[in-house]
Structure 1
Amino acid sequence: MITYKIAAIPADGIGPEVIAAGLQALEVLAARDGSFQMNVTTFNWGSDYYRRTGQMMPPDGTAQLKDFDAIFFCAVGAPDVPDHITLWGLRLPICQGFDQYANVRPTRILPGIQTPLKDVGPGDLDWVIVRENSEGEYSGHGGRAHKGLPEEVGTEVAIFTRVGVTRIMRYAFRQAQSRPRKFLTVVTKSNAQRFGMVMWDEIAAEVALEFLDVSWDKMLVDAMTVRMVKDPKSLDTIVATNLHADILSDLAGALAGSLGVAPTANIDPERRFPSMFEPIHGSAFDITGKGIANPVATFWTAAQMLEHLGEDAAAKRLMRAVEAVCASGVMTPDVGGTANTQQVTDAVCEAIRTTNI
């Protein structure tokens, strides 16, 4: 039996609630499968840790994580802690420290979940958004001068490197190549951002020559939002910069019915470091402690983690269980149901245990 070492970081808000749900489902899945188990270590880092220590995680936090097979992470953010402190204090140091340069966000409409899009249902919206996750607009370069004075200036420098753009473009083309439609859309803003974004377009064309079986097109990011709403069937695999894909993937989650069903994976494709898996819905302090957080995104994120670990059959079993439960109407209020977090979790676990899926 294979034992996987998993670092769980529930972090803030609803994080502990949904990570607990995800771990419960993984435990049942491992028992049903019988060929693997999860050895989970929980790290209680986040805003509570910050209030006690002045840091979101210890200075050697990444060193503590580096020998794990994967990181199961939820979300950072608290009303009384500035967002840039929570993000740059925990999530981004892990992503950048472990060079998790591919952020992968699948989106599709699950059975039983209503989309706000007219005449669109399961099968009509089935995307994978690949987000460059290490540089671009979130490089962390820039500064402020003359603070508090009328002439105060703040700069935020977006950094695009040939290495960074080429490797994410190759990753995206490989993702497209692995899917039935073999179709990629490259998103930039090269009409207005005439240096880094033009380089994105040029490198996309260069990398496309390595993948002659993949068709591709390109869109400006503003036009892309319209296309996602008006013509979702025309899209399949999408690649965009750190900022653009961050925004587009939240839109994608909303179009699929709720951010509560949207997963993500922060991948080091070269497997030098552990990759990190997190639902994208954020800490959701408005519903923290109410027991109604949607665990579906965490289950889907767990399935991505299983795929990364090579447990494809278990990942498929988990997603089939989630789909069966959603189709049966056992869902949380954010997607029109009346069940609470634990009821959805119990239903998914029961589906894993007892049905031939």
Structure 2
Amino acid sequence: MKTLKIANIPGDGIGREVVPAATDVLHVIADLHGGLKFDFTEFPWSCEYYLEHGTMMSEDGMERLKDFDSIFLGAVGNLQLVPDHISLWGLLIKIRREFEQVINIRPAKMLKGVRSPLLNPKDFDLIVVRENSEGEYSSIGGNIYQGEDELAIQNAVFSRKGTERAMRFAFELAKTRRNFVTSATKSNGIVYSMPFWDSVFKDVSADYPEVKTDSQHIDALSAFFVTQPERFDVIVASNLFGDILTDLGAAIMGSIGVAPAANINVNGKYPSMFEPVHGSAPDIIGKGIANPIGQIWTAKMMLDHFGEHELGTTLINVIESVTNDGFLTPDIGGTYTTKEVTDVITTRLKEVEKTGKLVQSNNIEIL
């Protein structure tokens, strides 16, 4: 029996609703494997934890997390309780940085049955590889002076090691997909870091002659995400550009509630962390209508990370069978609850386990 030890951090808001839903799904899908088991340990770290303890996680939190196989995170943030720069840097970004989760990957694709706001989305299927450790989010800078002379300085740091690492990850990923990598740049406006980025991209590209490449300025690239998303396969981007592009990717899918993400440690020293793109959604907390698909698709990415690609493919196929049959939460035009959507997904997974195939409600076999 292969047992995977997972640290669950539901966090804030709807994270406490969608993490249990996805955990239930993972228990069910483990039964499809037969020799796979998930061992979940839950941690209460959140903004409420901060109000009680003065810190977003326990002092020994990182030490407690380091021996898990992965971390499954729901959402972080509650501006009514704790400022974002405290909540994020005290939990989410702390884990990313100290566990050397240097790559962030976020897919965006047309889900069957989910209406995109685009008039003609043409079944796009892309994935953004975001450099996750430095760039524009480097914590170097400061504030000086007061009043009208007040000055804020924020330094963006781009190392060859970090930049090349993200790009090579993108190229290796593209080899498993459609052999096309697009670089997000802004070398016509940012005079040092982006020409450096372009230079490293050119160097790395030379090692992958079988992979087609393109380079687009971030403003034009953002426009193409709306007008021609089907043209893209793998996009590699800096920390800030990747962050913006992936929220846009979620938007053209139809809702940020369906978008997954993974923070990957590539050296094997520490666990990777899996989290949906959505936040804590304070406006719908406790209503039972949070979309569980973002968290469940994130679980699919975790399965892929562990080499369980067949189970991951089964899970995304089940998700699409459910959305295609109209089992949708309100954010994507439906009336179903978090529990109802989750229950349909688990029921269909059990159907696969029992029969070896999945049949939608319209009796079309898709597995």
State the TM-score bracket (shorter-chain normalisation): over 0.9
Equivalent residue, structure 1, for 2:315: 318
SS in 1 for 2:263: strand
- 2:330 counterpart of 1:336: no
Deviation at 1:149, TM superposition (A): 3.1
Distance in 1 between the 2:220 and 2:49 partners? Answer: 42
After superposition, residues 91-240 of structure 1 pair within 5 angstroms as: 91-121=92-122, 124-146=123-145, 148-179=146-177, 181-240=178-237
Equivalent residue, structure 1, for 2:362: none
Distance in 1 between the 2:61 and 2:155 partners? Answer: 27
Deviation at 1:229, TM superposition (A): 0.8
Q: What amino acid sits opposite 1:31 in the alignment?
A: D
SS in 2 for 1:100: coil
Distance in 2 between the 1:155 and 1:46 partners? Answer: 30
Equivalent residue, structure 2, for 1:79: 79
Deviations 1:267-314 (A, max 9, x none): 012222100000001111111111000000111100000111121221
**Would the aligned equivalents of 1:125 and 1:256 in 2 still touch at CA under 8 Å?**
no
Q: 2:258 aligns with which of 254, 257, 261?
A: 261
Deviations 1:63-101 (A, max 9, x none): 110000000001111022111111101001100111111
Q: What amino acid sits opposite 2:140 in the alignment?
A: H
* Residue-pair matches, total: 353
Deviation at 1:150, TM superposition (A): 2.7
Distance in 1 between the 2:182 and 2:137 partners? Answer: 22
SS in 1 for 2:116: coil
Distance in 2 between the 1:66 and 1:263 partners? Answer: 23
* RMSD over aligned Cα atoms: 1.0
TM-score, length-scaled by structure 1: 0.97
The alignment-based identity, stated in percent, is 46
Distance in 1 between the 2:345 and 2:175 partners? Answer: 31
**Would the aligned equivalents of 1:134 and 1:242 in 2 still touch at CA under 8 Å?**
yes
Structure 2: any 5+ residue segments left out of the alignment?
359-367
Between 1:53-62 and 1:212-221, the stretch displaced more is: 53-62
After superposition, residues 11-50 of structure 1 pair within 5 angstroms as: 11-50=11-50
Deviation at 1:48, TM superposition (A): 0.7
TM-score, length-scaled by structure 2: 0.94
Q: What amino acid sits opposite 1:282 in the alignment?
A: G
Distance in 1 between the 2:206 and 2:316 partners? Answer: 35
Between 1:4-13 and 1:72-81, the stretch displaced more is: 72-81
Distance in 1 between the 2:120 and 2:161 partners? Answer: 42
Deviation above 3 Å: which 4+ runs of structure 1? Answer: none
Q: What amino acid sits opposite 1:195 in the alignment?
A: Y
Deviation at 1:55, TM superposition (A): 0.7
Deviations 1:26-61 (A, max 9, x none): 011112321100000001101011100111112222
Distance in 2 between the 1:214 and 1:317 partners? Answer: 28
SS in 2 for 1:150: helix
After superposition, residues 48-59 of structure 1 pair within 5 angstroms as: 48-59=48-59
Structure 1: any 5+ residue segments left out of the alignment?
none
Q: What amino acid sits opposite 1:342 in the alignment?
A: K
Distance in 1 between the 2:172 and 2:46 partners? Answer: 35
Distance in 2 between the 1:195 and 1:252 partners? Answer: 27
Deviation at 1:320, TM superposition (A): 1.3
